[in-house]
Structure formats: C-alpha cells, structure tokens
A and B are shown apart, each in its own frame.
Chain A
Amino acid sequence: MRLLYFAWVRERVGVGEEEVTPPPSVTTVAELVGWLGGASERHAAAFAEPTRLRAAVDQAFVPLDASIAGAREVAIFPPVTGG
C-alpha cells in the first residue's frame, strides 16, 4: 500500500510517501494511523493526535473509521486550508 503525507504530517514523518504492508488486523484508517505511530519516533510525533488528522483513500476524502480494504493509496494530512 502506498502512503502519502502532506503539510506538517509530511514534515514530521520526514518523507512525503512510503510503501507499507500493514498486518491483516489493520482494517481502518484509524487503525492504520495507530499502527504507523509505532514505526518510528518521527511517525509517533506525526500521528500522536488522530483528531487533528484527515485522510483520503484512493484519492477520495474519508472519515478515519473508513475501511482500507483493497486500498492502493492512502493519504494522511491535516485539515485542508485552501481558497
């Protein structure tokens, strides 16, 4: 699965994208965020406050309790601030 990070999430993790293979027990975006938080200190800093995070699965915005079954690309980022 391809992960993309944007804005301060990208800065905290230290990379804009990475490939991961979550265990089968990780079925939602929220579970993915929790699992990623254990990957490194940088990941822990990026994913410490899930309420400040938003996500997209295969480029569509989803709530954090959305399923990641079959997802090719998951993006994790702060609330958007365009316009």
Chain B
Amino acid sequence: MIRVVVSPAAIDVAAELAALERNGAVASFTGLVRGDDGVATLELEHYPGATEAALERLAATARARWSLTAATIVHRVGAMRPGERIVFVGTCAPHRGAALEACAYLIDRLKTDAPFWKRETVNGAARWVEARNSDDVAAARWS
C-alpha cells in the first residue's frame, strides 16, 4: 500500500501509524515546524500535481528497494505555526532494518526531490527559506 497526501489538514500521527501496520516492523518520522530565530508563521507553497507525482515516485522506489509492505507520505501545505506537524513519513516491512532505512531514505529524498517551498515570517517580515547544502548531501548518500 502506498498513501500520499498533500493537504492543509492537520496530520493525525496515530491514525497514520495504525494504517501502516501490515507485518513485522513500522518506522516513522514526524517533522515539526521549528520556531528558531523568532519564526512566527510558516507558509508552504507547492506545485500541485507535480508534488503528488514526485512523492508517489519516491514511495514506489522505496517500496521496491526495501520490499516494503506499506509506505505513507503526508505533507502539509498552507499556513502553519511552530510546533505543528508539517510532514509525516511511515514505512512497514517484515523487519526493522528495512523499515528504518526506507523511512530515512524517504525523508532525505523528499527534501530535495519534491517541489515545496517554505516562506517564514519573522518580526512581521516574510522571507523565502534558502535551500541547505546539507540536505543535498543527505539525499546524495542514497544514490
């Protein structure tokens, strides 16, 4: 099973985890909006259609590479505040090694392969978040 959701709705981690359970091992990653440097709000823009297609390709690649029985990617878009969940990635496989590795792969590659852009507001001023070289390095270790 592959589940990809791109939506402004809040992420229900308990429901996502329960829906992943097939056999052996479930692993997950949840990303929360950081409030570093006085960030008051975060706005997520995406490329409708291309975003969902990119996430589905990633999930299908992970399923084939680690023989997953389930993979879920949920990414919020729109306006968010620090502390809110912004992204959830979950995997299920017969054993923990595959579930954990595939989960790390999905979040690393999501950061470089899916068309999302973050805009943060600090002290009333909005700015686009710059891409981080460390994300490219993290994504490259899987190729």
Contact surface of A with B, Cβ cutoff 8 Å = 4, 6-8, 56, 59-61, 75, 77-83
Whose C-beta in chain B lies nearest to the C-beta of A56? B50
* A83-B117 contact in complex given A6-B47, A59-B53, C-beta closer than 8 Å: no
Whose C-beta in chain A lies nearest to the C-beta of B50? A59
- Whether B119 contacts A7 by the Cβ 8 Å rule is yes
- Whether A78 contacts B128 by the Cβ 8 Å rule is yes
| B3 within 8 A of partner (CB) | no
Contact surface of B with A, Cβ cutoff 8 Å = 31, 44-47, 49-50, 53-54, 75, 86-87, 107, 110-119, 128-132, 135
* A56-B117 contact in complex given A81-B129, A82-B75, C-beta closer than 8 Å: no
Residue with the highest number of chain B CB atoms closer than 10 Å, among A8, A59, A81: A81
- Whether A82 contacts B130 by the Cβ 8 Å rule is no
* A80-B115 contact in complex given A4-B47, A6-B45, C-beta closer than 8 Å: yes
- Whether A79 contacts B115 by the Cβ 8 Å rule is no
- Whether A77 contacts B49 by the Cβ 8 Å rule is no
* A75-B87 contact in complex given A61-B113, A80-B114, C-beta closer than 8 Å: no
